[in-house]
Amino acid sequence: MDFFERFAVPHPSFAIYASMVAIGLTVVAVLAGLTYFKKWGYLWREWLTTVDHKRIGIMYLISALLMLFRGGVDAIMMRAQLSAPDLKLLDAQHYNEIFTTHGIVMILFMAMPFIMFFMNFVIPLQIGARDVAFPRLNALSFWLFFMGAMLFNISFIIGGSPDAGWTSYFPLAGNEFSTSVGTNYYMIAIQIAGIGTLMTGINFITTILKMRAPGMTLLKMPMFTWSAFIANVIIVFAFPVLAVLLAMGTLDRQFGTNFFTMDNGGMDMLWANIFWVWGHPEVYILILPAFGLYSEIISTFARRNLYGYKSMVGSMVLISLLSFLVWAHHFFTMGQGALTNSIFSITTMAIAVPTGVKIFNWLLTLRKGKIVITTPMLYSLLFIPLFTLGGVTGVMLAMSAADYQYHNTMFLVAHFHNVIIPGVVFAMLAGLTYYWPKMFGFMLNERIGKWTAWLLSIGFILSFMPMYITGLDGQARRMFTYSESTGFGPLNMVSFIGAGIMAIGFVLIVYNIYYSTRYASRNISNDPWDARTLEWATHTPVPEYNFAITPQVNSIEAFWDMKKKGHVIFKGEYEKIHMPNNSGIPFIMSCIFFVWGFSFVFSLWIPVIVTTIGIFVCMALRSFENDHGRYISVEEIEETETRLRGA
């Protein structure tokens, strides 16, 4: 039995045992359902082995929504625990585990895949390509991300959750203070998902640089493609830093090295430093594609072209460089000298300038526009004031002297939620509503959608504005409770109510999907929003080859100019189309990675060696494989096109 004891949860509670049972039952139900409805073959052929960017995108979306609810439950538990002084819903250890997993799940396993979903689904369509540059690598990216996320999520029922915060600072995350395998999960699961993300970055840079439709020069690319391009550049240069950091953390915890230890010359501050060398660019990886989505949506529903296209592009290029120059503002209080803090204060304030340029560009796009308030537009209009508020508190935090007051308080928590929720989450929901008809052939209900947007905004204001005040009054973050004499009680209750309203908003999204699936009209055009860019120029649902004839572009808003100015973008005859073959190797290799990661977490070296060999065998098989893809014949294209046009 000694062998199995290591898998036990070190600090169990009724809720954890209940989750174990629930997870077990769900897995059994899914497996039984697949067998009963004979869907195994369908699942394997159409999804697990697919290399189609649209399907991979949809799988990213499903993962992101699942993780949104996992992270959301964490959030509600935290707000409930803090809603009144001296509550005992959670103990300190569980609270630690929950704020840790909330942070990681929301940033790396919710926001990241949500962005990957948009990039996968939209970019090839928006630049008029058939697929991404490396379709099979794309499948591998997804499955590595997915396995990393699953590995991370099983931590709370097998072996214990990480509990050292999403930043996992040493020495707290070292063996001395984090004795369970929880932090090993952190190191390994994020490593696996991070490899997938890095490959996505390489894939999309190549795609955007080399596969644009004829005539689409760099300065004629739609704004979302530009923003995703910059985000991918940041991914490629930031994620290797994370890979090295996590590898060093693993070495410290499992191989006794001395990078971040307190003795033998180790330097715990080094972890914080390198973490934020990756961590700050990561923030911009999240926000830039969100800005891109807002740009598309605002110009579509203001019914005019985006104001200041070149300044938008310029500001993003500037952000991509500056984002690597501000990291030390996350630890102004660590003890480095005034010179360093001053330098990083100035670079941090400087990065607010290009962001401000973007805000003004959106405002000037709205000016003289004929604004149509749809759900995506409502999110965008709510985003502008709320996000600006978060930006302004960001500049407050950027002043290193003042930061000694704000550091590690609820003020900071309020600030980064204030930029992430209106900035990223609203963009994701706006984009989801906007692209839903292109994916599934019907629109989400507008009435429920607008209710959701208002509930989320009101809930957001109620949850996070009080934190600015309690933060300035000195309420520390990551404390599992507080005494009544602090006077934090009433404002924290307001926060809890706000969190509850937000939860209702998120449940409404699910209800909207259900409601619209049942009742929405299927009789919609290919372009239900009267949009401006190429992704709306093809059929709904999108055929597997995207465009029967490769579009030829000579303006930024190619589709709009086709509709309004009579530009011809589809010229010529059908030709046979070259498509990549499906492959099971990405999925199988990622499954091996999962076993590798799990064994690594528990230091089971024999399975680690076996699976490492397995991973290399998969790579060798890929090297020797001779796969030239397949062709879709002209007759088949004609048949598909006629069917889609008729419908």
Partner 1 sequence: MSELFPLKQVMGFVFSLILTAVALSVYFFNLSFSTGMIILLVTAFLQAGLQLVVFMHAGETEDKGAIYTNVYYGLIIALMTIFGTLLVLVWDM
Partner 2 sequence: MKMDHSLPLEYSTEENKLKILGFWIFLGAEIMLFATLFATYFTLVGRTAGGPTGAGIFEITPVLIETLLLLTSSFTVGLGIHAMRLGRKKAMIGFFITTLLLGLAFIGVEIYEFVHYVHVGAGLQTSAFTSILLTTLGTHGIHVTIGLFWGLFIVLQVWKRGLTPQTANKSFIFSLYWHFLDIIWIFIFSFIYLKGMM
Buried b (16+ CB within 10 A) or exposed e, 70-89: bbbebbbbbbebbbbbeeeb
List the one residue out of 158, 187, 181 whose CA is nearest residue 12.
158
Could you say which of 59, 75, 245, 377 contacts partner 2 (CB under 8 A)? 245
Q: Which is nearer to partner 1, 236 or 513 (CB)?
A: 236
**Partner from partner 1, partner 2, none binding residue 192, C-beta < 5-8 Å depending on class:** none
Q: Which is nearer to partner 1, 246 or 382 (CB)?
A: 246
Beta bridge pairs of residue 631: 578
**Partner from partner 2, partner 1, none binding residue 256, C-beta < 5-8 Å depending on class:** partner 2
Give Cα separations from 517 to 426, 521, 585 (angstroms).
22, 9, 33
**Partner from partner 1, partner 2, none binding residue 202, C-beta < 5-8 Å depending on class:** partner 2
CB of 339 to partner 1, least distance (A): 5
Q: Which is nearer to partner 2, 264 or 523 (CB)?
A: 264
Q: Which is nearer to partner 1, 98 or 326 (CB)?
A: 326
**Which span sits near partner 2 by CB under 8 A: 18-26, 348-356, 505-513, 617-625?**
617-625
Number of H helices, E strands in the chain: 22, 2
Could you say which of 12, 240, 490, 584 contacts partner 2 (CB under 8 A)? 240
Alpha-carbon span 259 to 247, nearest angstrom: 11
Instruction: List the interface residues with partner 2, window 91-150 (CB under 8 A).
Output: 133-134
**Which span sits near partner 2 by CB under 8 A: 50-58, 239-247, 464-472, 474-482?**
239-247
| Residues touching partner 2, count (CB under 8 A) | 44
Alpha-carbon span 325 to 303, nearest angstrom: 37
User: In sequence order, which residues have a C-beta less than 8 Å from that of residue 180 and are 6 or more positions away?
Assistant: 10, 11, 159, 160, 163
Q: Is 175 exposed, middle or buried (0-12, 13-18, 19+ CB in 10 A)?
A: middle
Alpha-carbon span 248 to 271, nearest angstrom: 9
* HSE-up (13 A, CA, CB side) for residue 483: 2
Q: Which is nearer to partner 1, 232 or 457 (CB)?
A: 232
Q: What is the H or E stretch that residue 503 is in? A: helix 489-519
Could you say which of 16, 211, 504, 588 contacts partner 2 (CB under 8 A)? 211
Alpha-carbon span 644 to 647, nearest angstrom: 5
Residue 280 is which amino acid?
Answer: H
User: In sequence order, which residues have a C-beta less than 8 Å from that of residue 372 and are 6 or more positions away?
Assistant: 301, 303
**Partner from partner 2, partner 1, none binding residue 245, C-beta < 5-8 Å depending on class:** partner 2
Residue 332 is which amino acid?
Answer: F
Could you say which of 44, 237, 454, 511 contacts partner 2 (CB under 8 A)? 237
Alpha-carbon span 235 to 194, nearest angstrom: 10
Which positions lie near partner 1, rule CB under 8 A?
209-210, 233, 237, 241, 267, 269-270, 273-274, 277, 321, 324-325, 327-328, 335-337, 339-340, 343
**Partner from partner 1, partner 2, none binding residue 239, C-beta < 5-8 Å depending on class:** partner 2
Q: Which is nearer to partner 2, 133 or 508 (CB)?
A: 133
List the one residue out of 68, 73, 58 whose CA is nearest residue 18.
73
Per-residue binder mask for partner 2 (CB under 8 A), 257-296, x = binder: xxx-x-xxxxx--x---x--x-------------------
CB of 593 to partner 2, least distance (A): 16
CB of 319 to partner 2, least distance (A): 18
List the Cα angle 132/140/238 in 5-degree steps: 80
Place of tokens 């490629």: 236
Residue pair 183/162 in contact (Cβ under 8 Å)? The answer is yes
Residue 596 is which amino acid?
Answer: W
Could you say which of 20, 80, 172, 243 contacts partner 2 (CB under 8 A)? 243
CB of 180 to partner 2, least distance (A): 22
Could you say which of 605, 620, 633, 643 contacts partner 2 (CB under 8 A)? 620
List the one residue out of 576, 550, 297 whose CA is nearest residue 427.
297
Could you say which of 255, 339, 565, 572 contacts partner 2 (CB under 8 A)? 255
- What three-state secondary structure class fits 549? coil
Tokens of 443: 């629109």
**Partner from partner 1, partner 2, none binding residue 335, C-beta < 5-8 Å depending on class:** partner 1
DSSP-based helix, strand, coil % in the chain, nearest 5: 70, 0, 30
CB of 321 to partner 1, least distance (A): 7
626 binding partner 2? (CB under 8 A) = yes
CB of 111 to partner 2, least distance (A): 21
Could you say which of 339, 623, 645, 646 contacts partner 2 (CB under 8 A)? 623
**Which span sits near partner 2 by CB under 8 A: 246-254, 360-368, 418-426, 513-521?**
246-254
CB of 170 to partner 1, least distance (A): 14
DSSP string, 237-276: HHHHHHHHHHHHHHHHHHH---SS-SSTT--HHHHHHHHH
Residue pair 390/415 in contact (Cβ under 8 Å)? The answer is yes
CB of 247 to partner 2, least distance (A): 8
Instruction: List the interface residues with partner 2, window 567-596 (CB under 8 A).
Output: 578
CB of 538 to partner 2, least distance (A): 21
The β-bridge relationship of strands 577-579 and 630-632 is antiparallel
Alpha-carbon span 432 to 117, nearest angstrom: 10
Alpha-carbon span 55 to 159, nearest angstrom: 34
Place of tokens 């989320």: 456
**Partner from partner 2, partner 1, none binding residue 264, C-beta < 5-8 Å depending on class:** partner 2
**Partner from partner 2, partner 1, none binding residue 521, C-beta < 5-8 Å depending on class:** none
Q: Which residues bind partner 2 (CB under 8 A)?
A: 133-134, 198, 201-203, 205-206, 209-211, 236-241, 243-245, 247-248, 251, 255-259, 261, 263-267, 270, 274, 277, 578, 616, 620, 623-624, 626, 628
